Amino acid sequence: MTLQVDDAGAGDLLLGAAIGAFRPETGEFDYGMIDVSMFQPPRFCKKAYIAKATQLVFRLLERMELGCGEAVEICPSYLFEEAVPKLRSSLGENRVKVLAIRGRAQELVEEAYLNEVRKLGYRPIPEREKRRAKSFFHMLQWVKRNPNRFKYAKTGWPRLKRYV
C-alpha cells in the first residue's frame, strides 16, 4: 500500500493551500487546508505555512491510518521542505519518496482546493492549469471588485503590491 501526498493552490492568489492524501489501492482520500492567514503578513515572512503544512501532513497520515511499512510518496513542493525530513526521521528513509504526484491523487487535491475557492463565490477559469498568469489576474480582478475579498488573498507576496 502507498499513501500519496500532494498540495494544490499554493501558487494561486485565493485562500491558503489544500494538502491531500490519497491511497490508490483503495481510493481513500482526505484533505485539509492551510489557512490563508499563513500566507499574509506577518506570518508569511516567518514561513508559518511550512509548519502548518507539516502538521497537516502528519494529521492526514494519522486520519488515513498509515499502515506499518506503508510507503509515502510526497510531492517536491516547497510546502513540504520541513515535512519530508520529519517523515524520513519518523518512518525511515526507505518509506518516504519525493516525486511528482500525478493522476487521481493530483486531481482530487486540485478539486478539493477549487471547491474551497468556489465556496467564496469565485468561479475559476476552465483553462486555469494551462494559463497560470491568466488565472492569477482573473482572481485578482475578482478580489479587486470587492475590497472585502482581500481577506481571502495571499497578501504576503511582495510582488502583489504591483497590482493592487
Per-residue pLDDT, 164: 60
Per-residue pLDDT, 133: 65
Could you count the other beta carbons within 10 Å of the beta carbon of residue 68?
6
Per-residue pLDDT, 147: 87
User: Quick one: the chain helix, strand, coil %, rounded to 5?
Assistant: 45, 20, 35
Domain boundaries, the chain: 2-162
Nearest to 5 by CA among 129, 82, 101: 101
The domain 2-162 is placed in CATH, from the list 1.10.287, 3.30.420, 1.10.20, 1.10.1760, at 3.30.420
Per-residue pLDDT, 163: 62
Give the alpha-carbon dihedral of 9, 15, 17, 23, to 10 degrees: -90
Residue 67 φ/ψ, nearest 5 degrees? -75, 155
Please state, in angstroms and as integers, the Cα–Cα distance from residue 3 to each residue in 19, 60, 80, 99, 108, following that order. 13, 10, 15, 12, 13
| pTM of the complete model | 0.91
C-beta separation of 36 from 134 below 8 A = no
Per-residue pLDDT, 134: 74
Output the furthest CA–CA distance in the chain (Å, rounded): 51
Per-residue pLDDT, 33: 97
Please state, in angstroms and as integers, the Cα–Cα distance from residue 124 to each residue in 62, 77, 141, following that order. 32, 22, 12
Per-residue pLDDT, 52: 97
Encode the chain (164 residues) as per-residue pLDDT tens digits. 899 999 999 989 999 999 999 999 999 999 999 999 999 999 988 999 999 999 999 999 999 999 999 999 999 999 999 999 999 999 999 999 999 999 999 999 999 999 999 999 999 877 766 666 678 888 899 999 998 998 999 988 777 766 66
